[in-house]
């Protein structure tokens, strides 16, 4: 079966997977979607015996139908290797009555590694397949994790450059140090005076600037994206939900066909959307619990059917979730319209012009698999402390939000289904807040002293990614306003 891709807004159709990956964002501002969601060809009991790499192949080959078996396996083998500090890549840890799917064992200790380890392989393979003779410029906005993971993946990859924009005051110290110390002659990091939504909007405007695209082409460059808007990011994320169910089955934790729930701490909506794709492919998932922090725009949306970004932007201890414009939600909106690009484009125009849109009752019914939940900052801290005291398991501040939301849902609904919680970052990435949560308050100490204290208290080894930035020199010091993002890109590329 040959899968092709089209824009959620109708402007582009019939692209191969490699073409969609290269472009990143459609020319009309839409996101690329497959013309159908394929069904898994192996049963869950057959998949239960597979390694992570084997599972990845069985999932990815169904979406990336213009990649040969040899090409796809080379991408998978290159991505999921010794850079992960655990052989199983994405271990499941049972704690507090739930199963924590640890997605932070890659080289930047956050879940973005799961997809961004393979995207450079996809991109360079796609460039060869499409005879691209221009240098690919990866342009991306980050709320803290995507930027570092993307740079780590693309650093010194021939034929590519990467430019990352991040909110100057909207990331943790460890996140910032990971970015500004990044090696690679083809990497550039820019702090902007604004929040993540400002950075993301600025990047989208650059992508949509046709005149600038022509200028780039004349200079020998072409833009692409490493953000979760790129379908090459979404497809690898589906894999770990398929793998998680297989591991529960292999370990005897569930019966074959038994439905589970999935809880995901959510910002840009890509991670939970991947779980929805896994369900549509045949994984027995019941509820998709979308966990928000105090920036609860998604919670309000699933409760009311109205997406309203007109609210204060709050800085929290879970910064990767500090988002008011969840870009990947557009893909779910598109599916809920029956894949109607005109209706989708109209709603996205309303969001841009009025700051809100409301879906129809029919569309809302199509999203019934999703439940919204949110946790306040205090509830986040309480969940981290409670799980640590009860079980000794330490989680970061994003996973803490998901844990708190899961507990509330279970209490209020009485739903006893086995639940997988996406654990999206190492606790060492947000050590100060984690230590505060477990009663060792150390927010005023040096970050690396806090990390050492967390190691002693938790017994969990400090990841190599954290050790490396202790003494690494700062290589990136650029700062710009949102209005100057395009100008800054030109300066970096020498245009």
- Which residues are designated catalytic? 112
Residues 6+ apart with CB under 8 A from 191: 165, 166, 167, 168, 478, 479, 480
The three-point CA angle 13-16-18 to 5° equals: 130
Nearest-CA neighbor of 273 among 229, 226, 307, 207? 229
Handedness of CA 395, 377, 319, 349 (dihedral sign): positive
Residue 318 and residue 426 in contact, taking contact as beta carbons nearer than 8 Å: no
Up-side HSE of residue 161: CA atoms within 13 Å toward CB?
18
d(CA 307, CA 302): 8
Residue corresponding to tokens 């956050």: 110
Token pair, residue 296, equals 């609860």
The length of the chain, given as a count of residues? 495
DSSP 2-25: ---EEETTSS---B-HHHHHHH-S
DSSP 468-479: HHSSPPP---EE
């Amino acid at each position: 079966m040959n899968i092709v891709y089209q824009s959620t807004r109708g402007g582009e159709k019939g692209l191969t997977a490699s073409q969609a990956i290269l472009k990143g964002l459609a020319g009309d501002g839409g996101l690329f979607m497959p013309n159908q969601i394929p069904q898994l060809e192996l049963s869950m009991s057959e998949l239960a015996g597979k390694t992570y790499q084997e599972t990845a192949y069985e999932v990815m080959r169904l979406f990336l139908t213009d990649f040969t078996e040899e090409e796809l396996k080379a991408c998978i083998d290159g991505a999921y290797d010794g850079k992960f500090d655990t052989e199983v890549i994405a271990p499941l840890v049972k704690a507090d009555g739930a199963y924590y799917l640890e997605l932070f064992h890659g080289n930047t200790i956050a879940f973005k590694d799961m997809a961004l380890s393979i995207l450079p392989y996809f991109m360079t393979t796609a460039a060869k397949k499409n005879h691209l003779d221009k240098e690919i410029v990866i342009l991306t906005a980050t709320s803290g994790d995507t930027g570092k993971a993307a740079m780590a993946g693309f650093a010194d990859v021939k034929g590519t450059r990467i430019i990352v924009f991040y909110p100057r005051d909207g990331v943790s110290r460890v996140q910032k140090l990971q970015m500004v110390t990044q090696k690679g002659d083809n990497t550039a990091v820019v702090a902007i005076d604004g929040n993540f939504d400002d950075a993301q909007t600025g990047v989208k405007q650059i992508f949509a600037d046709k005149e600038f695209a022509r200028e780039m082409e004349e200079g020998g460059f072409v833009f692409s994206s490493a953000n979760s808007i790129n379908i090459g990011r979404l497809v690898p994320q589906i894999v770990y939900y398929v793998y998680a169910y297989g591991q529960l089955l292999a370990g005897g934790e569930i019966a074959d066909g038994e439905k589970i729930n999935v809880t995901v701490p959510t910002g840009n909506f890509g991670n939970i959307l991947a779980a929805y794709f896994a369900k549509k492919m045949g994984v027995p998932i019941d509820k998709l619990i979308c966990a928000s922090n105090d920036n609860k725009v998604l919670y309000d949306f699933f409760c009311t059917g109205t997406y309203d970004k007109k609210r204060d932007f709050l800085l929290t201890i879970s910064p990767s979730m500090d988002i008011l414009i969840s870009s990947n939600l557009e893909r779910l909106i598109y599916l809920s319209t029956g894949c109607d690009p005109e209706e989708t484009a109209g709603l996205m125009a309303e969001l841009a012009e009025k700051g809100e849109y409301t879906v129809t009752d029919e569309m809302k019914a199509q999203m019934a698999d999703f439940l919204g939940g949110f946790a306040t900052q205090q509830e986040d801290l309480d969940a981290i402390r409670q799980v640590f005291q009860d079980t000794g398991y330490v989680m970061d501040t994003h996973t803490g939000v998901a844990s708190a939301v899961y507990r509330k849902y279970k209490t209020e609904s009485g739903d006893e289904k086995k639940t997988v919680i996406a654990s999206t970052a190492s606790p060492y990435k947000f050590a100060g807040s984690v230590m505060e949560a477990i009663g060792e308050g150390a927010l005023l100490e040096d970050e690396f002293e806090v990390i050492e204290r967390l190691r002693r208290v938790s017994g969990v080894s400090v990841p190599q990614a954290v050790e490396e930035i202790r003494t690494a020199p700062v290589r990136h010091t650029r700062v710009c306003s949102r209005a100057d993002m395009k100008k800054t890109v030109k300066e970096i590329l020498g245009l």
